[in-house]
């Protein structure tokens, strides 16, 4: 079973490397699983542009999902990079991403604790209480009265998403 069989892992890697990068990863898993290969070999096996293969491998390396080893040719002195996927680390990386997202959502929830007002006429854009008070609760664009905005649904959605992510971290 491949790490790509996990929907969350597949989504995470896709977010990192995009559609074309996913094709590189899939070809490597299909054609050379658990083997060291050069980027040129991956390009040849997959029919994917060498620059795209290299870009994908470096992105995976930076995110601890691939590793490489250098070999120096004794005759020419050229360095050859031998690459290998290491997708076992993907679950750990997903957990780190979830923690980061939880922090962002918690900051957003904290911001949502503010009181907001909206213009009745304009496309609804929220105005913080302090600014609404400065403008005497009139829209700065069209000078219509501002209405209180109830953001209870947004706050609840944020709480639900945070709770869902925390449950995932516990598993």
Dump pLDDT digits (tens) for 28-49. 888 888 889 999 999 998 888 9
Phi, psi of 160, deg, nearest 5: -60, -45
Q: Is the pLDDT of residue 117 over 80?
A: yes
Q: For the chain, percent helix, then strand, then coil, each to nearest 5?
A: 60, 15, 25
- pLDDT for the residue 168: 79
- pLDDT for the residue 82: 93
- Is residue 144 within 8 Å of residue 119, measured between CB atoms? yes
Burial 73-102 (b: 16+ CB within 10 A, else e): eeeeeeeebebbbebebbeebbeebbeeeb
Instruction: Read off the pLDDT band of 122 (50, 70, 90).
Output: low
- pLDDT for the residue 15: 92
pLDDT averaged over every residue in the chain? 90
- Is residue 147 within 8 Å of residue 118, measured between CB atoms? yes
Q: What is the pLDDT of residues 57-104, one digit of tens each?
A: 999 999 999 999 999 988 998 999 999 998 888 888 888 889 999 999
- pLDDT for the residue 171: 67
Whether the full predicted model's pTM is greater than 0.85, yes or no, is no
Higher pLDDT, 119 or 121: 119
Class of domain 3-85: mainly alpha
The closest alpha carbon to 89, from 113, 112, 73, 67, belongs to: 67
- Is residue 132 within 8 Å of residue 99, measured between CB atoms? no
How do the domains of the chain map onto residue ranges? 3-85, 92-170
């Amino acid at each position: 079973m491949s790490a790509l069989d996990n929907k969350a892992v597949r989504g995470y890697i896709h977010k990192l490397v995009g559609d074309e990068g996913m094709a590189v990863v899939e070809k490597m898993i299909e054609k050379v699983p658990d083997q060291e290969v050069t980027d040129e070999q991956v390009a040849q096996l997959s029919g994917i542009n060498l620059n795209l293969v290299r870009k994908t491998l470096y992105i995976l390396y930076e995110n601890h999902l691939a590793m490489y080893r250098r070999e120096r040719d004794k005759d020419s002195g050229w360095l050859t990079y031998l690459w290998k996927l290491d997708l076992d680390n993907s679950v750990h990386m997903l957990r780190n991403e979830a923690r980061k997202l939880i922090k962002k959502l918690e900051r957003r929830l904290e911001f949502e604790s503010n009181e907001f007002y909206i213009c009745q006429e304009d496309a609804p854009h929220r105005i913080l209480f302090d600014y609404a008070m400065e403008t005497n609760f009139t829209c700065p664009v069209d000078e219509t009265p501002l209405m209180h905005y109830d953001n209870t649904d947004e706050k609840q959605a944020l709480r639900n998403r945070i709770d869902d992510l925390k449950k995932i971290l516990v598993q």
